[in-house]
């Protein structure tokens, strides 16, 4: 008899293990490997009309990237005008309804509904103020002073943060990565990887609590530091430019999953950081779509909803975008 009860107990335990396993498998019903097909907001694009740093690379394949061997290289069109044309074609193909473009005035003239005009800080504060008055400044970004070896805490940046705070426009701040691997030994001698840590932004945020700040490239690879910053400062958002196409896919997914698992899925925005290689836009979109840990709702948040909220788009505009196919 005792033996019988033991058998029953073992059977019950085994059954309950199977049920638990079945329940656990069912616990992720939303995971969706399908591609998102709704509207997209790209929070990081460049609209160069001239840029000596990129002129020599026009008309060529992207230089080889360590860790990305075996992939078809992205190719740069032969002129900045052709880059613009092909980028606009990508916007159409992927239903990109808004693009934060820096510099963006020239592109905005062609597509005022689509282009959000960004500007870096290589321009005096008073001139930026005048541009804002003229409707030619919507986002202070890409702010990337670490190419000159300048930290976010440098006193020279204070007037720019104050301006964005006063005008109530978002700041797009570049931390890391920047340029190709080993850039400090080549075109970017002043950059230092150690300058890319997100927690440097704390006092800047505390001094201007309503400032809308998003971190470009999601500050890769400083995931732990970024989680601390996002936990402590719930107003901080990130975008995925460059890391969505310039990292091995697995590393990008690991990084994105780290942010999702930490509960920050409502503060991650899509960005490509398209410079002169328009096909990076499609590559970056695919990288998010193939993240097999994302639900379709999370993809929709990353591609559109989070940025629409961050940019405070009107309900009518959101409705109009969502009606576009």
Quickly count: other Cβ atoms within 10 Å of residue 109's Cβ: 10
Of 109-117, 202-210, 271-279, 285-293, which part binds Zn ion (CB under 5 A)?
A: 271-279
Q: Does 239 bind Zn ion (CB under 5 A)?
A: no
8 A C-beta contact, residue 167 and residue 308: no
CA-nearest of 305, 243, 224 to 269 is 305
Q: Smallest gap, in angstroms, from Cβ of residue 178 to Zn ion?
A: 8
User: 317 CB contacts (<8 Å, ≥6 apart)?
Assistant: 308
Nearer to Zn ion, 142 or 301 (CB): 142
CA-nearest of 28, 67, 45 to 251 is 67
Of 73-81, 104-112, 137-145, 293-301, which part binds Zn ion (CB under 5 A)?
A: 137-145
Q: Does 273 bind Zn ion (CB under 5 A)?
A: yes
Q: Smallest gap, in angstroms, from Cβ of residue 241 to Zn ion?
A: 6
- Which of 42, 86, 142, 300 binds Zn ion (CB under 5 A)? It is 142
Nearer to Zn ion, 174 or 233 (CB): 174
Q: In angstroms, rounded to a whole number, what is the distance separating the alpha carbons of residues 39 and 33? A: 18
Q: In angstroms, rounded to a whole number, what is the distance separating the alpha carbons of residues 305 and 313? A: 10
Q: Smallest gap, in angstroms, from Cβ of residue 201 to Zn ion?
A: 18
Of 30-38, 136-144, 150-158, 302-310, which part binds Zn ion (CB under 5 A)?
A: 136-144
Q: Does 42 bind Zn ion (CB under 5 A)?
A: no
8 A C-beta contact, residue 65 and residue 248: no
Q: In angstroms, rounded to a whole number, what is the distance separating the alpha carbons of residues 213 and 227? A: 15
Q: Does 283 bind Zn ion (CB under 5 A)?
A: no
Q: Does 300 bind Zn ion (CB under 5 A)?
A: no
Interface residues with Zn ion (CB under 5 A)? 142, 273
């Amino acid at each position: 008899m005792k033996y019988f009860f033991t058998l029953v107990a073992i059977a019950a335990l085994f059954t309950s293990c199977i049920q638990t396993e079945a329940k656990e498998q069912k616990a992720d019903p939303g995971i969706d490997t399908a591609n998102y097909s709704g509207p997209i907001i790209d929070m990081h694009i460049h609209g160069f009309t001239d840029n000596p740093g990129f002129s020599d690379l026009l008309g060529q394949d992207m230089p080889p990237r360590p860790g990305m061997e075996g992939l078809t290289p992205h190719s740069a069109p032969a002129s900045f005008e052709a880059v613009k044309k092909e980028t606009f074609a990508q916007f159409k193909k992927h239903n990109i309804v808004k693009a934060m473009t820096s510099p963006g005035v020239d592109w905005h003239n062609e597509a005022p509904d689509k282009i959000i005009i960004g500007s870096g800080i290589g321009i005096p504060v008073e001139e930026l103020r005048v541009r804002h008055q003229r409707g030619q400044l919507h986002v202070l970004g890409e702010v990337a002073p670490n190419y000159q070896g300048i930290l976010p805490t440098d006193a020279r940046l204070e007037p720019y943060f104050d301006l964005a705070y006063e005008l109530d426009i978002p700041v797009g701040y570049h931390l890391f990565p920047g340029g190709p691997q080993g850039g400090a030994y080549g075109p970017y001698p002043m950059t230092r990887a150690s300058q890319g840590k997100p927690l440097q932004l704390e006092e800047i945020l505390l001094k201007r609590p309503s400032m809308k700040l998003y971190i470009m490239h999601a500050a890769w690879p400083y995931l732990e530091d970024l989680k601390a910053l996002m936990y402590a400062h719930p107003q901080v958002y990130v975008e995925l430019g460059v890391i969505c196409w310039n990292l091995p896919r697995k590393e990008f997914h690991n990084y994105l999953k780290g942010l999702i698992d930490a509960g920050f899925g409502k503060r991650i925005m899509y960005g490509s950081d398209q410079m002169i290689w328009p096909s990076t836009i499609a590559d970056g979109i695919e990288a998010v779509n193939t993240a097999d840990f994302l639900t379709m709702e999370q993809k929709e948040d990353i591609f559109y909803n989070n940025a629409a909220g961050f940019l405070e788009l009107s309900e009518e505009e959101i409705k109009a975008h969502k009606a576009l196919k």
